[in-house]
Homo-oligomer: A and B are copies of this chain.
Amino acid sequence: MNFRSDNESPAAPEILAALQEANSGHAYAYGEDGITAGMRDRFRETFETDLEVFPVATGTAANSLSIAQLSPAYGAVFCHHEAHLHADECGGPEFYSGGAKVIPLSGELAKICPRTLRAALSKMEEMGIHESQPSAVSLSQATELGTVYKPDEIREISRIARGGGMGLHMDGARLANAVQRLGCTPAELTWKAGVDILSFGATKNGAMAAEAVVVFNNDRAAGLARRHKRAGHLFSKMRFMSVQLETYLKDDLWLQLAGRANRAADALSAGLGRLAGAQVLYPVEANEVFVKMPPPLADGLKEAGYEFHLWPGSRDHYRLVTCFATRVDEVKVFLALARRLADGLKAGELAKGLDGS
């Protein structure tokens, strides 16, 4: 069983069925088709506002295009040092923007600390033209550690961004999980809290390959159609991309799928937290569980066929990710095994302790 990443999950059956249905005869290319028009409307309805939406097939593309819209080549973009934008895109934002600087910041629970942001901004402003122009802040929602920003937290970051003449980007690769968890509306978590451009993710949560750049602030949309095209993300048979997004949003499918992933994560977290010698590291606010456990326990689970990642740079921090397809009964089987292994280990240690001295 795979807890490595929601990236490795299948596509939701609803989405594959919609693809099949969209495959009837010819359709105008490059987004001039009816399915794409409907998808655009669906986004406007979901976010309760006018907006522009540009489908892409990867989060790297969504993030990089977003940053290129918010930052000139001579600009700087602030984000948390754990953010995908900085640590996992192989320099995509730098490439798309023509060499903007991505400035990694520290902060608890993978969230940008407002004070740190203010200090970094002020230091950069002090340097004048010898430094890049502060241009954007990027938040990950949910974060790389599976935590979420509450609307108030986003608004605070937004105020700092505005004050420094910067735009606000949200990397919403797991936005569905955050929306479902917080129980607020998509609008409240994005444009109403000050987000200008959103990387909207669907792939991790049931699409085959579908993300989107969503621009809430029309002033930020100029030129995006051409950037999208020249970067190779304007699909000729756009309907197949659009139908994934349309189906994803329709009847709140996205939130239902995220709900399943979140509930599986809750079950996982509760169980792991009760294991002897294990400790859940961060609040589980989306579909990721970070757990510190003895490597022999992890090894035992892996030998039994369970897959999950050791967190880079650590020795005993493990990440387990659930998805819409993770069944709670499977989680229970996993936890039962974990319990047996943990208890066995503990007994062994006790035994060793008894033997040893």
Contacts and interface: CB of A to CB of B under 8 A. Distances in A.
A252 to B, nearest CB: 22
B132 A226 contact: yes
B230 A90 contact: yes
Contact of A88 (B60, B131, B227): B131
Nearest to A13: B23
Contact of A312 (B16, B74, B126): B126
Interface string A1-23: 01011011111010010011001
A213 to B, nearest CB: 11
Contact of A236 (B26, B203, B231): B203
Nearest to A241: B209
Interface in A98-157: 98-102, 123, 126-127, 129-133
B92 A95 contact: no
Contacts of A231: 60-61, 64, 92, 95, 231-232
Given A129-B229, A230-B74, A240 B123 contact: no
A33 to B, nearest CB: 8
Contact of A203 (B204, B209, B237): B237
A279 interface: no
Interface string A225-249: 1110111111111001100000000
A235 B100 contact: no
A191 to B, nearest CB: 24
A130 B233 contact: no
Contacts of A26: 2, 4, 8-10, 325
Interface of A: 2, 4-5, 7-11, 13, 16, 19-20, 23-30, 56-62, 64-65, 72-74, 76, 87-92, 94-102, 123, 126-127, 129-133, 203-204, 208-209, 223, 225-227, 229-237, 240-241, 312-313, 325
13 contacts: A2-B25, A4-B26, A7-B237, A8-B28, A13-B23, A74-B90, A74-B227, A91-B101, A126-B312, A129-B226, A132-B230, A209-B241, A231-B232
